Amino acid sequence: MQSHTLQSQTLTRTVPGMNCQGCVKRMREAIHTKDPSASVEGFPAEKRLEVTSSLDGNALDSALSEAGYPPDEAPSEDPLPAESAPTSEVAEGQNVPTDAPQQRLLISGMTCAGCAKSVEKALANTPGVSAASVNFGTHTAQVTGSAKRDALIEAVAAAGYHAEPIVDMREAERTREAQEAATYRQRLKGSILSLALAIPLMLSMFVYHPHPMGLGRLYWLVIGLLTLAILAFPGRHFFTNAWKQLKHHQANMDTLVAMGTGTAWLYSMMVVLFAPWLPEVAQGSYFEASAMVVGLILLGNAMELRARGRTSSAPKRLLDLQEKTARVIRNGVEQEVAVEDVALDDHIRVRPGERLPVDGVVLDGQSYIDESMLTGEPVPVHKAADEEVGAGTVNGSGSLVYRATRIGPDTRLGRITEQVASAQNSRPPIGELADTISGIFVPAVMIIAVLTALAWYNLGPAPVVIHMLVTATTVLTIACPCALGLATPISTMIGVGKAAEHGVLVRSGEALQTASRLNTLVVDKTGTLTEGKPRVTEATVLHDDSAQVLAWVAALESRSEHPLAKALTAYAEEHNARPDALASFDSVTGGGVKGTSQANDTLLLGNARLLEASGVDPFPSRREHSPAGTQGALAGLFSGEWQAGRPLRR
Catalytic machinery residues: 524
Task: Give the separation between CA 87 and CA 411, rounded to whole angstroms.
Answer: 11
SS3 state of residue 541: coil
DSSP label at 277?
Answer: G
Residues 6+ apart with CB under 8 A from 151: 126, 127, 128
Task: Give the separation between CA 397 and CA 434, rounded to whole angstroms.
Answer: 52
Task: Give the separation between CA 72 and CA 495, rounded to whole angstroms.
Answer: 34
**Residue among 473, 472, 446 nearest 246 (CA):** 446
Task: Give the separation between CA 234 and CA 295, rounded to whole angstroms.
Answer: 8
Task: Give the separation between CA 106 and CA 178, rounded to whole angstroms.
Answer: 13
Pairing type for strands 592-597 and 602-606 reads antiparallel
DSSP label at 462?
Answer: S
| Nearest 10 degrees: Cα torsion 433, 436, 441, 444 | -110
Q: Would you say 294 and 204 are in contact if contact means Cβ atoms under 8 Å apart?
A: no
Count the Cβ atoms, other than its own, within 10 Å of residue 330: 11
Dihedral (CA of 52, 58, 61, 66) sign: negative
Q: Would you say 38 and 55 are in contact if contact means Cβ atoms under 8 Å apart?
A: yes
Residues 6+ apart with CB under 8 A from 240: none
Task: Give the separation between CA 361 and CA 72, rounded to whole angstroms.
Answer: 29
Strand blocks (E) in 60-180: 76-78, 102-108, 129-135, 140-145, 162-165
Q: Note every long-range contact of 329-338, with CB atoms under 8 Å and residues 24 or more positions apart, other chains counting.
A: 329/401
Q: Which amino acid is at 410?
A: D
Containing H/E element for 89? none
Task: Give the separation between CA 544 and CA 557, rounded to whole angstroms.
Answer: 21
Task: Give the separation between CA 505 and CA 640, rounded to whole angstroms.
Answer: 30
